[in-house]
Structure 1
């Protein structure tokens, strides 16, 4: 289709307040560390239908207003006098809007299909290869009308919720119509605030909490002879799992235990991990958004940091859910900290215990709109176990190719898909061969269904040696 698409670029000038230099915020340090470790872009990317009647000139005008209003979008990463990374906010500049004009004889759906392919490509492409700014915008033009938009943003200046807040200025996204705080702290100002004594005390309290979880760690969460720092395409593989039955069971389990679906999913996934690996207790990272903190709800910036929690996984599934309810609260309360201070703590503990240790298991609940819907479904009519099991034939597992360099042995994303438990798992195949990963995923479904209707379901965790013996046989 390439010869039937005309590619062009429109220069869009902008200017706005907030220029200057600031240190990196704690959230920026966290995501920069992940980017360097994994060599992945971490771009936030998507595609959106545009309101009827818009022209390319209209979209360019909106892009200029967006850049002018938000200093985070005018930010570049630089180096300070000490050679450390810093953020530099520019007051003015120019950004290019990428325009793809489709021949009149094509169908409107061709433009939409092209945009859907494009946002996936842009997600995996470093922004610096195409623009000096942390935002890249493309518009599909068809018969004189701007019909579809591709928007990609750098994770160093925005996280998932921040992106949705930002998009309200474009009249797009799930938060359109929700009031946004016009006085929300700017990202550079947040970084300056995090350097104050008051913020340092918050980080110091977090370090005392973290130390209790890090002191007795093994070298790697799931053992293994080599660190999961490997070349792309060799040991790291991606699999997607969908289960409408598990979704219905999680809702019933949340209803029975009077718990939200997030903590139920955490407990069930952690139990499934322990059942298939024998690792008990399990210390893991949990992604924390930090937007519940005063004044941070509408910040245009990246606030996500790792929380840490430890779960004892013997007893029953109900026991683990009760633990998850309490442990998650404590973990999230201590997930706002200076990553440099955490690195210093980890280095000190490595020396004290006599070997380096890392947490290599992470769970990230990425649900936004569907999490609220799932929690609300607890009030819907009850379902029976037979009704839920009738949906099990719809469960699917789809393996994908080996992917980019990674640093976790197991990374479980709970994706934002309606009416299903949709898990995307990235795993180190040296520790998690395909059969073990699939056993883990199906255990999530089975544990949820069993525990939804019975309060005494055992976790089924066996010692690691027994699990390893079974796997090798």
Structure 2
């Protein structure tokens, strides 16, 4: 029996520890723009959108101390005391509660269970929690599990509802749960609370920002086709199912990205987007990339330390024809900068804009390619690795045997024809969702392995051609 089989067969005893919390801020307010966007994405994708993970606990840590830390964190952070409610007219709004109780789940494993199998069970559990809904109305937006084995608390498993936090918020919260170093900003003003953020977004100043963003979006959306990759051509999809998710990881591509970033001076994120755009253009036969990209709005004044969902879709457009890979990277950088400047807006305004453009065009249209760089912890590590990089062609070749691709399963629905996510691992790791009524298996796999090929081609050659279209 493999370790994976053993982990699946484990049967921990489940119990709960209830922790009270109480905070100073409470009240009811409208939804923020980020919350509106998240609810729409969740509805369209048909799956929960949670931020999850698992962490080792230091020796000597007890279940009670871990649970108490969670209670203290919820008391401290108003965003973690939010539930959605209806106003007297039936409209949706958010309520920050002043106090309450949270139930922490405890999983006790038998002494006879192997530590490796318990670790494997923990890994699977946090991945499963990504797709377990957190009820916006009846549950607190953070869920905790504690893995106890042979009398000691070994791991904590966490799931945060993206309705109230983004990835950056999560990194700010984790030190209070014993993970990472607290963020210290000398002389910083008190960050906006989630209710203050919502109040600002209903001001005339914020509405002007949103309307300005819509003018940019209109310039990008006016001439788009009905769907980015055309209409379905394979009605049966793959194995009778339309929406498939898959994974790709390449240490060789990771090493090549370090080499590209060092020789070009480009930011690693821009290098990765340039490589992805080139590989996608080659595999799908496109010489222009138009995509929605999830970007943070934290650069805006007063937003840096706010615990809230501050990421929204930006719109980018990149020409791939007659270019080198380096030129595609530069074009991605400019497109991401322009898109990021216009990624803070009221989603209701975007809905109105798209309806008007559909009417003027005479047909409905939307961008159905979405991209997301979810790296948080590895961004710092990669920047350090770029500075120290001494990558050679032999180093890259030596890692080729570690590359893998897998088809992992199906989804019931997805609003996008392709959803490409760079995950937070110290490798070039992609989570992919494709509408297989529009693509062949070969196209998807050509794209995935093409990411590695493009990165290697451009690692030491600034004149490497993109070769798209």
TM-score, normalised relative to structure 1:
0.90
Q: Provide the residue aligned with 1:204 in structure 2.
A: 211
Is residue 99 of structure 1 aligned with residue 106 of structure 2?
Answer: yes
1:127 partner SS? coil
Is residue 349 of structure 1 aligned with residue 354 of structure 2?
Answer: no
Return closer, same or farther for 1:421/1:105 CA change in 2, 3 Å cut-off.
closer
Q: What displacement does 1:340 show?
A: 0.8
Mapped partners of 1:154, 1:408: distance in 2 = 22
Mapped partners of 1:130, 1:120: distance in 2 = 23
What does 1:252-263 align with in structure 2 at a 5 Å threshold? 252-263=259-270
Is residue 239 of structure 1 aligned with residue 246 of structure 2?
Answer: yes
What does 1:444-459 align with in structure 2 at a 5 Å threshold? 444-459=451-466
Is residue 187 of structure 1 aligned with residue 194 of structure 2?
Answer: yes
Mapped partners of 1:95, 1:377: distance in 2 = 40
Q: What displacement does 1:147 show?
A: 2.5
Is residue 123 of structure 1 aligned with residue 130 of structure 2?
Answer: yes
Q: Provide the residue aligned with 1:409 in structure 2.
A: 417
8 Å CA contact 1:45, 1:119 repeated in 2: yes
Is residue 336 of structure 1 aligned with residue 344 of structure 2?
Answer: yes
Mapped partners of 2:192, 2:265: distance in 1 = 36
Note the alpha carbon deviations across 1:311-334, whole angstroms, 9 max, x for none.
Answer: 011122222122112221111111
Return closer, same or farther for 1:129/1:259 CA change in 2, 3 Å cut-off.
closer
Q: Provide the residue aligned with 2:400 in structure 1.
A: 392
Q: Provide the residue aligned with 1:137 in structure 2.
A: 144
8 Å CA contact 2:83, 2:136 repeated in 1: no
8 Å CA contact 1:47, 1:119 repeated in 2: yes
Q: Provide the residue aligned with 1:383 in structure 2.
A: 391
Q: What displacement does 1:300 show?
A: 1.5
Choose from 324, 330, 335 the match for 1:327. Answer: 335
Q: Provide the residue aligned with 1:370 in structure 2.
A: 378
Mapped partners of 2:287, 2:467: distance in 1 = 11
Mapped partners of 1:63, 1:99: distance in 2 = 13
Q: Provide the residue aligned with 1:299 in structure 2.
A: 306
8 Å CA contact 2:84, 2:136 repeated in 1: no
Q: What displacement does 1:439 show?
A: 0.9
What does 1:16-35 align with in structure 2 at a 5 Å threshold? 16-35=23-42
Q: What displacement does 1:10 show?
A: 2.2
Is residue 178 of structure 1 aligned with residue 186 of structure 2?
Answer: no
Bigger mean CA offset, 5-14 vs 268-277: 5-14
Is residue 315 of structure 1 aligned with residue 322 of structure 2?
Answer: yes
Return closer, same or farther for 1:330/1:33 CA change in 2, 3 Å cut-off.
same
Q: What displacement does 1:104 show?
A: 4.2
Choose from 435, 438, 443 the match for 1:431. Answer: 438
Q: Provide the residue aligned with 1:468 in structure 2.
A: none
Bigger mean CA offset, 371-380 vs 430-439: 371-380
Mapped partners of 2:101, 2:339: distance in 1 = 42
Mapped partners of 1:386, 1:103: distance in 2 = 47
8 Å CA contact 2:172, 2:182 repeated in 1: no
Bigger mean CA offset, 237-246 vs 58-67: 58-67
TM-score, normalised relative to structure 2:
0.91
1:161 partner SS? helix
8 Å CA contact 1:233, 1:404 repeated in 2: no
Mapped partners of 2:460, 2:129: distance in 1 = 45
Return closer, same or farther for 1:7/1:445 CA change in 2, 3 Å cut-off.
closer
In structure 1, list runs of 5 or more residues that go unmatched. 463-473
Bigger mean CA offset, 111-120 vs 162-171: 111-120
Bigger mean CA offset, 386-395 vs 238-247: 386-395
Mapped partners of 1:213, 1:302: distance in 2 = 25
Is residue 57 of structure 1 aligned with residue 64 of structure 2?
Answer: yes
**Aligned length in residues:** 457
8 Å CA contact 1:45, 1:150 repeated in 2: yes
1:347 partner SS? helix
Mapped partners of 2:178, 2:194: distance in 1 = 22
Mapped partners of 1:150, 1:382: distance in 2 = 37
Choose from 17, 20, 28 the match for 1:13. Answer: 20
RMSD across aligned positions (CA): 2.5
Q: Provide the residue aligned with 2:366 in structure 1.
A: 358
Choose from 284, 289, 305 the match for 2:291. Answer: 284
Return closer, same or farther for 1:143/1:447 CA change in 2, 3 Å cut-off.
closer
8 Å CA contact 2:244, 2:434 repeated in 1: yes
Bigger mean CA offset, 423-432 vs 55-64: 55-64
8 Å CA contact 2:234, 2:436 repeated in 1: no
Q: What displacement does 1:226 show?
A: 8.6
Q: What displacement does 1:203 show?
A: 1.0
1:128 partner SS? coil
Q: What displacement does 1:358 show?
A: 0.6
Is residue 158 of structure 1 aligned with residue 165 of structure 2?
Answer: yes
8 Å CA contact 1:73, 1:157 repeated in 2: yes
Note the alpha carbon deviations across 1:103-130, whole angstroms, 9 max, x for none.
Answer: 4454555554433332222221112399
2:135 partner SS? helix
